[in-house]
Structure 1
Amino acid sequence: MSNLELIEIYKSELQNYSLAQLRYITAEDVWSIGQMYDHVIVVAMEYLDNVETCATLKEEQKLGKTESGEHVYKIGGFPPNKIKLPDKLNTPPSNTDSIEELTSRLDQVMLRLRLWENRVDDINPNYKVEHGGFGWLNAREWFDLVGMHFRHHLRQKSELEHKIGFRI
């Protein structure tokens, strides 16, 4: 399944929630479904910003990925465990967007993915931007990370739906 198909699933399923279900927080330190959507959108836009940055660089970077980064790209995605970010990076995502706002923001992610999908492989693979956990990534790696991140959150999405008693 392509990144665009995956995001289309997120968009489609978003239409099935009520606003109350979207914003419902089941426990302290557990995100609502809306917060999870906000998170994957914000991160996707950051990753796509880094694709753009790689496209504008003029100096090659010889450093590579960390051990974690090598592992993630070797297996083609995030490991199936929950990732706890440091507190300074772990600000709760927004829980205020409507279904329409989240849908529009997902459309913006898809627009940017379409913009780069046929151009990303033309960017020098030695033009890289550093990722805090995975090391130095090139444009293709940042682009691929968008889909990996959306896939990683599918299980969380399912768990949150279960907690609110949601069934499609």
Structure 2
Amino acid sequence: MNVLEIITQLKQALQEYESRLDHYSDEVFLLHPEPNAWSLGEVYSHIFVTGLMNLKALELCVEGHGATDTDGLNEFGEKLFALGHFPPGKYESPESVKSRVQNIHKSEAKELISKVNSRVSALNISDILQSEENQRIEHPRLGYLNANQWIQFMLIHSNHHLEQLERIERKLSMC
């Protein structure tokens, strides 16, 4: 899949997140479907706060401010990109990511979606394509990613959490 297709699909995923918000009441958005499980609000917080972080990493790679002497993806990162999605199973976010998750309100989710949408729309595809492949920023679980890999990861990650929203909705009997 080329960068334009990835960005197009990412925008569609962002639209799906936005449209789902209309189906959640404010109260349900903050409910935990079971102990130690994220609420819808926490999933939205996670996906869009990390989305902004991913975009920053992508921008640093494009601007030539990444590390150039890295090994690139680690074993899990290689597997994830080869599959194009997360392998089956549940995953714990790294502590550096989990510590940023908050149980946000729908209005905050809308603001975050808008910020990510604006930043994604402002991406210059030719800058991503022309960025040096060895310009990489570290991901806490996948190793070092270049600009192209960051945008691919954003799509993979967004789709993964759309599946999580569906599981939460089933547990909350919303489907």
CA drift at 1:105: 1.0
Q: Which residue of 1 aligns with 2:22?
A: 15
Equivalence map 1:78-157=2 (5 Å): 78-87=86-95, 89-91=97-99, 93-97=101-105, 99-118=106-125, 119-157=127-165
Change beyond 3 A, Cα 1:88–1:63: closer
Q: Describe the superposition over 1:20-78 as per-residue Cα deviations: whole angstroms up to 9, x where unpaired.
A: 11011132211111111111001111111100111232563352211111111111121
8 Å Cα contact 1:80/1:152 also seen in 2: no
8 Å Cα contact 2:64/2:132 also seen in 1: no
Matching of residue 25 in structure 1 with residue 32 in structure 2: yes
Residue 116 of structure 1 aligns to a residue whose secondary structure is coil
Residue 122 of structure 2 aligns to a residue whose secondary structure is helix
- Please, which runs of 5 or more residues in structure 1 have no aligned partner? none
CA drift at 1:117: 5.0
- Please, which runs of 5 or more residues in structure 2 have no aligned partner? 1-7
Equivalence map 1:1-12=2 (5 Å): 2-12=9-19
CA drift at 1:79: 1.2
Q: Which amino acid aligns with 1:133?
A: R
Change beyond 3 A, Cα 1:62–1:94: closer
Residue 151 of structure 2 aligns to a residue whose secondary structure is helix
CA drift at 1:10: 0.8
Q: Which residue of 1 aligns with 2:50?
A: 43
Aligned mate of 1:54, from 45, 55, 61:
61
Q: What is the alpha-carbon distance in structure 2 between the residues aligned to residue 71 and residue 95 of structure 1?
A: 31
CA drift at 1:88: 5.8
The 10-residue stretch of structure 1 (138-147 or 128-137) with the greater mean CA deviation from structure 2 = 128-137
The 10-residue stretch of structure 1 (109-118 or 40-49) with the greater mean CA deviation from structure 2 = 109-118
Q: What is the alpha-carbon distance in structure 2 between the residues aligned to residue 166 and residue 72 of structure 1?
A: 30
Residue 144 of structure 2 aligns to a residue whose secondary structure is strand
CA drift at 1:159: 1.1
CA drift at 1:89: 4.6
CA drift at 1:103: 1.4
Query: Under a length normalisation based on structure 2, what TM-score does the superposition of the two structures give?
Result: 0.86
Residue 137 of structure 2 aligns to a residue whose secondary structure is strand
8 Å Cα contact 1:54/1:127 also seen in 2: yes
Matching of residue 66 in structure 1 with residue 74 in structure 2: yes
Query: Would you say how many aligned residue pairs link Structure 1 and Structure 2?
Result: 166
Query: Under a length normalisation based on structure 1, what TM-score does the superposition of the two structures give?
Result: 0.89
